């Protein structure tokens, strides 16, 4: 299946100058897809093509921002910040990789995949929000200067408290899972009825590597004692951050919860965080999220109090151990197929969903699965390319991949098998047969 971006009516936002520029960017990426497959085309051609795309994208961002300013678009500052994140962080990192690998084919594929994914996603969400077609997910972020100040405070506290030289991985963390996580919720309120909800996510190994080293524990896992120490250090951490932005003396902690990943994920459904940043500390991932002032009232979680703290922590950790299931990542561009597979497998497996090849690579990087069920035919980045990216990374090369294909004819199956996956499944098989095949594979 050839990689070509197909312009669809839904990409039009209704502003002629912006729609024409989007079509132009799509066209440039399509030419780059074609160039990289033609051996007679030199590295220089790809190099110049990538430079042309970058220059044109920068010009487009400037023109789009001028348009938003001219119509007094209410989300202008947030939209510009997303542009800046791409042009000042994402693109430079991709260019650095291209130069370090001397424009190797894998690096070019990575560049194209990221740019295509970003362009399509941004066009369908944030750009459409300019004309009111959709609501921006990040429409209620703190002002840019406050976000920058909060990031610096958190980075400094990580260094001061834990001797960690962390860096920002994402400024728009949307609740994606990374590794084995601890999900911790704190709610603060004042006499005026204002509330701040703080969500902290720790990769478990981060707690072991930091708090564990401080208390000289021999445990390689988070235990009740480590978790209790981490709770109180986390509260001090949050108070320190809050003290830089408002008088923490005015706010009292009114609720504290440990959440499952599913409960945590719900926090990002239908809500707009004011601050949601993912950090790589070098010792594990850490996310700091703020949702305020309108908060969902949880009814299913037990609030941690002095009299039940130890019992609740032990129950939480025990439940995590008992519910430890093998992880399956389902990658398919069809919403129906993804959720059908989730319903079929979630009773026995920990199921994560990805709707594209790029999302799959991100999921694998953050939370290594035991099995990848990979759609063979997807737009932009198909199953063949995703499998190639997985195998190109030493840490991922041994992750078993089973192709999902809608075609059962001999020629199509031979194409799938020529890539030497661990197996394949025909999508039209009955649910029981698909489940049995996956169960048998996991047992083997």
CA-CA distance, 93 to 98, in Å (whole number)?
9
Percent of the chain clearing pLDDT 70 (strictly above): 86
Same structural domain, 153 and 271: yes
CB-count exposure of residue 302 (10 Å: 0-12, 13-18, 19+): middle
Distance CA 345, CA 438 (A): 9
- End of a domain among 322, 351, 377? 322
Weakest mean pLDDT among 233-247, 264-278, 378-392, 408-422: 408-422
Spatial contact of 345 and 328, defined as CB atoms under 8 Å apart: yes
DSSP annotation string for 39-62? TTS-HHHHHHHHHHHHHHHHHHHH
Strands (E), 191-315: 195-203, 252-259, 275-280, 285-291
More confident residue, 274 or 207: 207
Domain-located, residue 3: no
Q: How confident is the model at residue 116 (pLDDT cuts 50, 70, 90)?
A: confident
Q: Are residues 156 and 294 in the same domain?
A: yes
Whether residue 423 lies inside any domain: the answer is yes
416 located within any domain: yes
User: Is 70 inside a domain boundary?
Assistant: yes
- Mean pLDDT, residues 150-168 taken together: 91
Measure the CA–CA gap between 201 and 119, rounded to whole angstroms: 28
pLDDT tier at 369 (50, 70, 90 boundaries)? very high
Is the peptide bond between 177 and the residue preceding it cis, with omega within 30 degrees of 0?
A: no
Does residue 113 or residue 21 have the better pLDDT? 21
Examine the fold and report which residue of 84, 103, 129 is the final residue of a domain before the chain moves on. 129
Could you tell me if residue 305 is inside a domain? Answer: yes
Looking at the predicted structure, is the pLDDT value of residue 305 above 80?
no
Query: What's the total number of domains in the chain?
Result: 3
Would you place residue 10 in the very low, low, confident or very high pLDDT band (cuts 50, 70, 90)?
confident
Q: Do 307 and 202 share a structural domain?
A: yes
268 or 263, which is more confident: 263
User: What are the structure tokens assigned to 141, written together?
Assistant: 């972020």
- What average pLDDT does the segment 69-75 reach? 84
- If you average pLDDT over residues 218-244, what whole number do you get? 84
108 pLDDT tier (thresholds 50, 70, 90): confident
Q: Is residue 117 predicted with pLDDT exceeding 60?
A: yes
Using CA atoms, how far apart are residues 97 and 85, in angstroms rounded to an integer? 17
Q: What is the pLDDT of residue 133?
A: 63
99 Cβ contact list (under 8 Å, min separation 6): none
What is the crossing angle of helices 357-366 and 383-392, to 10°? 30
* 288 and 372 co-located in one domain: no
Assign residue 23 the CATH number of its domain: 1.20.120.50
Say if 150 falls within a structural domain.
yes
Residue 154's pLDDT band (boundaries 50, 70, 90)?
very high
Residues 363 and 421 in one domain: yes
Which pLDDT tens digit goes with each residue over 408-429?
A: 566 766 776 777 788 888 887 8
Q: Which CATH number goes with the domain that contains 221?
A: 3.40.1550.10
Strand ranges of the sheet holding 423-426, from the earlier edge strand across to the other edge? 350-354, 327-331, 371-375, 401-405, 423-426
430 by DSSP, 3-state: which? coil
Same domain, 64 and 185: no
Residue 194 has pLDDT above 70, yes or no: yes
Domain check: are 187 and 305 in the same one? yes
Does 148 lie in the same domain as 286?
Answer: yes
92 falls in which pLDDT band (50, 70, 90)? confident
Do 373 and 431 belong together in one domain?
A: yes
Give the range among 84-98, 154-168, 254-268, 289-303 with minimum mean pLDDT.
Answer: 289-303
- pLDDT tens digits, one per residue of 332-361: 888 778 888 888 898 889 899 988 888 888
Pairwise CA distance, residues 130 & 132, whole Å: 6
The answer to whether 254 touches 163, Cβ cutoff 8 Å, is no
* Residue 57 sits in the same domain as residue 192: no
Alpha helices by DSSP H, listed for 134-223, are 144-162, 204-214
Do residue 233 and residue 345 come from a single domain? Answer: no
Confidence of residue 135 (pLDDT cuts 50, 70, 90): low
Q: Who's near 356: CB < 8 A, 6+ residues apart?
A: 117, 331, 333, 378, 380, 381
**Does residue 293 surpass a pLDDT of 60?**
no
Domain at 427, CATH number:
3.40.50.2300
Residue-level length of the chain: 444
The model's confidence at residue 1, banded by pLDDT at 50, 70 and 90, is very low
What is the rounded average pLDDT for all residues in the chain?
81
Residue 442 or 184, more confident: 184
Is it the case that residue 208 has pLDDT exceeding 70?
yes
Residue 136 lies in a domain: no
On whether residue 137 sits in a domain, the answer given is: no
Q: How much is the pLDDT for 295?
A: 34
The percentage of residues in the chain with a pLDDT greater than 90, rounded to a whole number, is 14
Per-residue pLDDT band at 183 (split at 50, 70, 90)? very high
Q: Does 324 or 198 have the greater pLDDT score? A: 198
What is the domain range of residue 159? 144-322
Quick one: tokens of 324? 């430890």
Q: How far is CA 430 from CA 328, 340, 435, in A?
A: 19, 12, 9
Q: How many C-beta neighbours within 10 Å does residue 219 have?
A: 11
Q: Final residue of a domain: which of 83, 103, 129?
A: 129
For residue 41, is pLDDT > 70?
no
* Same-domain status, 376 and 404: yes
Q: What residues have CB less than 8 Å from 19, skipping those under 6 apart?
A: 11, 12, 13
Between 142 and 92, the more confident residue is: 92
């Amino acid at each position: 299946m050839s990689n070509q971006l197909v312009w669809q009516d839904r990409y039009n936002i209704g502003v002629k100058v912006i729609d024409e520029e989007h079509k132009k960017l799509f066209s440039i990426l399509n030419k780059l897809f074609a160039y990289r497959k033609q051996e007679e085309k030199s590295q220089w051609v790809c190099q110049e093509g990538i430079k042309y795309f970058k220059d044109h994208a920068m010009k487009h961002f400037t023109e789009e921002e001028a348009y938003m300013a001219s119509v007094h678009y209410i989300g202008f500052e947030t939209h510009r910040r997303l542009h800046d994140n791409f042009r000042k962080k994402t693109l430079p990192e991709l260019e650095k990789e291209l130069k370090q690998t001397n424009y190797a084919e894998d690096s070019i594929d990575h560049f194209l995949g990221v740019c295509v994914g970003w362009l399509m996603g941004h066009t369908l969400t944030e750009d459409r929000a300019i004309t009111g077609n959709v609501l921006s997910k990040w429409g209620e972020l703190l002002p840019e200067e406050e976000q920058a100040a909060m990031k610096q405070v958190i980075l400094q506290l990580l260094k001061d408290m834990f001797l960690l030289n962390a860096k920002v991985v994402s400024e728009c963390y949307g609740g994606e899972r990374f590794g084995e996580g601890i999900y911790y919720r704190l709610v603060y309120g004042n006499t005026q009825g204002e509330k701040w909800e703080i969500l902290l996510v720790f990769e478990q190994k981060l707690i072991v590597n930091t708090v564990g080293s401080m208390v000289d524990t021999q445990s390689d896992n988070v235990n009740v004692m480590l978790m209790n120490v981490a709770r109180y250090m986390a509260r001090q951490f949050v108070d320190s951050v809050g003290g830089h932005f408002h008088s923490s003396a005015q706010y009292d902690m009114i609720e504290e919860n440990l959440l499952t990943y599913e409960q945590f994920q719900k926090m990002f459904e239908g809500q707009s965080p004011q601050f949601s940043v993912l950090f790589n500390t070098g010792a594990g991932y850490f996310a700091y999220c703020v949702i305020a002032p309108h908060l969902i009232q949880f009814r299913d979680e037990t609030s941690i109090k002095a009299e039940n703290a130890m019992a609740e922590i032990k129950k939480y950790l025990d439940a995590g151990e008992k519910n430890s299931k093998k992880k399956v990542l389902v990658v398919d561009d069809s919403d129906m197929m993804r959720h059908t597979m989730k319903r079929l497998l979630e009773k026995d497996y920990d199921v994560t969903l990805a709707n594209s090849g790029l999302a799959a690579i991100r999921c694998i990087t953050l939370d290594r699965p035991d099995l990848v069920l990979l759609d063979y035919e997807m737009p932009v980045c198909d199953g063949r390319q995703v499998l190639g990216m997985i195998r190109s990374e030493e840490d991922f090369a041994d992750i078993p991949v089973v192709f999902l294909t809608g075609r059962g004819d001999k020629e199509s199956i031979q194409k799938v098998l020529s890539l030497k996956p661990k197996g394949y499944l025909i999508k039209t098989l009955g649910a029981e047969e698909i489940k049995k095949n996956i169960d048998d594979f996991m047992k083997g």
